[in-house]
Structure 1
């Protein structure tokens, strides 16, 4: 819609003041301008509108029908402007806005839900968009400014990406419920050398596969992968179907699935680290709020 408006807020304010007081001298005093200056503002406004806004006599000032209707719209316009100013201030402070967060399987089954819940309590007017994204894809998304914060496997060593550790978890073994090793309180990695393994597919699980392979090779074997899955649900389902065993983060305890047993690894081994990462050269006010919460929660 094309709008050709040649009057300004100063004229609108002058009109509203006269309409409220119905007296040019009192309105001029309120606006801290002279009465002639006020009269010029009103005259110019009426010329632009092509309508008389006030009936003037030597004794009184009254609104015309055009003036009455215009006053209603002016008051509404000022309310919208005031709300716009408030919203702009809130957006600049990060109290409202949009936040795009990417996550991997370990994050969404581990620390991330609690972090998001707390952030929503503190900033209920921020819209959070969640995107599932494997860790290696998040690095590119961060560099391309497609996401504000990514939750992925750490540590990170890429230039231009800053990060904060949010969780460190031990590795566990996921076993079919009827597996001979399912009754053990803990297992050593070497006890798994003859097992058939279920692993996350290379396309989405490359970083964790590498970590798991290094762990197994440290104890003298390469895992015999007989089946792959693209999601945690798929991995758990294949294990429950007695297709094999799997190595996972201890956030597995938060995933409820019949037919599987979770047993911790007894060996000393590197922890599965979940980090929050972001582009160090770009930050929205909303993302700044989110990072402040992360620092408070991990302090």
Structure 2
């Protein structure tokens, strides 16, 4: 590997190359003119190259000097950028933040929090991945993700999550259904319906929450089919397979042939949390968490 030249001498040469004057370079660097001459001469000896042609009247770059000046200037720009990026990463202002989210988090305040954070820290890249709440908890423990957005009911440690949104259950059914024109329904109204719900493998927490609310009302839902994700569930409802229950934030994303009706029971609610395993103060994840706390405190709940 070729040994790099002395960087201080190289920087002095770049100023001379820019000004084409030892006197002007000395003034710009706030050093004596003989020191500039010595630095350039030492650099030429170090490299074994003639970089400048000197006469009593002018200074000019040789072909080697011109090429070195061009490439070294670009290299110093990259070096300054690398140092700045490293400092930003160390202070949580740059880098890549890996976050995951559950299906029911998609239309929560999660999206706005991420967008606002990226506006504040444009050098941060936020990579997001869809995972169930249970998958997120495992990924957090393994260090595969930095943060997760999931159902609060899945969280066991109150000190490692903050609630970012609260939602009512929402009944989703075809517009041809008898309840489609209702302004609100009770869970008890759904006792005799056929239900399509998220699969137990990917919707375990929400299934437990939903079935618990139904049991509290006095019945168990009659489940006739399952789906792994929201588009599949909506497709099953559109086909007339049954009704489903999701979060109220999804109302605006429903297809035109489906209606979303609020479920008005006081216990027919759930919340979404930002969850983490561990973080260092000042780290990227730590800055995101502190930003989220401040944003929630200053932003009224819709």
Which TM class, normalised by the smaller chain length? 0.7 to 0.9
Counterpart of 1:133 in structure 2 is 131
Q: Distance in 2 between matches of 1:259 and 1:18?
A: 73
Sort the Cα spacing of 1:216 and 1:255 in 2 relative to 1 into closer, same or farther, 3 A. same
Scaled by the length of structure 2, the TM-score of the pair is 0.84
Q: Deviations over 1:166-203 (max 9, x none)?
A: 11111122223222333333222222222211110001
Quote the residue 2:266 is aligned against.
268
Question: Which residue in 2 is equivalent to 1:223?
Answer: 221
- The alignment status of 1:280 with 2:295, answered yes or no, reads no
Which residue of the other structure, out of 57, 70, 75, is the alignment partner of 1:77? 75
Does the aligned pair in 2 maintain the 1:171–1:250 contact within 8 Å?
yes
Distance 1:162 1:65 in 2: 62
Partner of 2:167: 169
Q: Of the candidates 236, 239, 242, which is equivalent to residue 241 of structure 1?
A: 239
Q: For residues 232-284 of structure 1, give each alpha carbon's deviation from its aligned partner in whole angstroms, at most 9, with x where no partner exists.
A: 11112212222112222212312222332222223220521100111223577
The answer to whether the 8 A contact 2:173-2:258 is kept is: yes
* CA deviation string 1:48-99 (max 9, x = no partner): 3221223456776554333233223333333332333333344444443222
> Which among 7, 10, 25 is matched to residue 8 of structure 2?
10
Gaps of at least 5 residues in structure 2 are 298-302
Residues 182/32 of structure 1: CA separation in 2 closer, same or farther (3 Å cut): closer
Do the aligned partners of residues 71 and 240 (structure 1) sit closer, same or farther apart at CA in structure 2, a change above 3 Å counting? closer
2:196–2:223 contact (8 Å) kept in structure 1: yes
Report which stretch shifted further, 127-136 or 279-288: 279-288
Distance 1:19 1:183 in 2: 78
**Aligned pairs for 1:279-298 within 5 A:** 279-282=277-280, 285-298=283-296
Local SS of the residue matching 2:288: helix
Alpha-carbon deviation of 1:34?
6.3
Aligned residues: 297
Question: Aligned partners of 2:256 and 2:16: how far apart in 1?
Answer: 75
Distance across 2 between alignment mates of 1:222 and 1:262? 21
**1:98-137 maps to which residues of 2 (within 5 A)?**
98-137=96-135
Rounded to whole Å, the distance in 2 between the matches of 1:174 and 1:72 is 64
Q: CA deviation at 1:10?
A: 1.4
Secondary structure of 2:213's aligned partner: helix
Partner residue, 2:300: none
CA deviation after TM superposition for structure 1 residue 210, in Å: 0.3
Partners of 1:165 and 1:273 lie apart in 2 by 7
Alpha-carbon distance between aligned partners in 2 of 1:4 and 1:40, rounded to the nearest angstrom: 23
Is 1:143–2:141 an aligned residue pair? yes
Shift of 1:207: 0.2
Q: Secondary structure at the match of 1:130?
A: strand
Which one of the candidate residues 200, 206, 209 is aligned to 2:207?
209
The correspondence for 1:53, drawn from 51, 62, 67, is: 51
Unaligned runs of 5+ in 1: none
Distance verdict in 2 for CA 1:247–1:20, change over 3 Å: closer
